[in-house]
Amino acid sequence: MKKILLIAFFLFISNQILAQTVSIKNSPRPFTIIPPTSWVQQPTSTGNSRIKFVAPYGTPYAECAVIVQEYPSAKNIPQSTLDKGMLEGLTISEMTEQLSAMYNNVKIFSVGVANLSGHPAQLSNCQYSVGTPSGEVWIRGIYITTATTPGLIWTICCGATGKNASEAQKGYSYWQSEFAKFPTNIKIQ
């Protein structure tokens, strides 16, 4: 039993050593991230997206992205106040309402409070769809949101996509452990 644990420990350490830390400076606050092993960095799709990684070819399609938005009206709010607000969390109905403003077929499986680089964060486990010219695309994943000074909202989203909810769920099940690890590898500076 000790040998198995020791081997597992060394495999974990060797995977951590092989992972490359990526520094992001095109953000109002710089940060670093260790992407999932074998995932590929892709160009971001919006001005607030700071970095995006996609799953390797030949696996269920999934991506993780870091979005940082500036809110000048919140620039002078102390970090302690922002942390307190994040600790309060959202209800399932509040999160459903927020995501429904942007997406279709929103279903929130759970909400909670997490930690993102030492800051309390709101976590939701969700499913939704987006209309595209080629039809509806379904996403199954997680959203994590926190706030930091000076007036920054951080959103980490990791999700698997599919042509329907069932296909997206299969991808989510495949990548679930990577989705859970991704936010723990972000260090806001």
Sorted by where each starts, the structural domains of the chain and their CATH numbers stand as 21-188 (3.40.1000.10)
Per residue in 102-119, pLDDT (tens digit) is 999 999 999 999 999 999
Q: What 3-state DSSP class applies to 40?
A: strand
Backbone angles phi, psi at 147, to 5 degrees: -125, 140
Amino acid residing at 3: K
* pLDDT confidence bin for 134, thresholds 50/70/90: confident
User: How far is the C-alpha of 88 from the C-alpha of 112, rounded, in Å?
Assistant: 9
The residues, ordered by sequence, that sit 6+ positions from 130 with a Cβ below 8 Å of its Cβ are: 103, 104, 136, 137, 139
| pTM for the model | 0.86
Amino acid residing at 16: Q
User: How far is the C-alpha of 24 from the C-alpha of 43, rounded, in Å?
Assistant: 13
pLDDT at 135: 87
Per residue in 150-161, pLDDT (tens digit) is 999 999 999 999
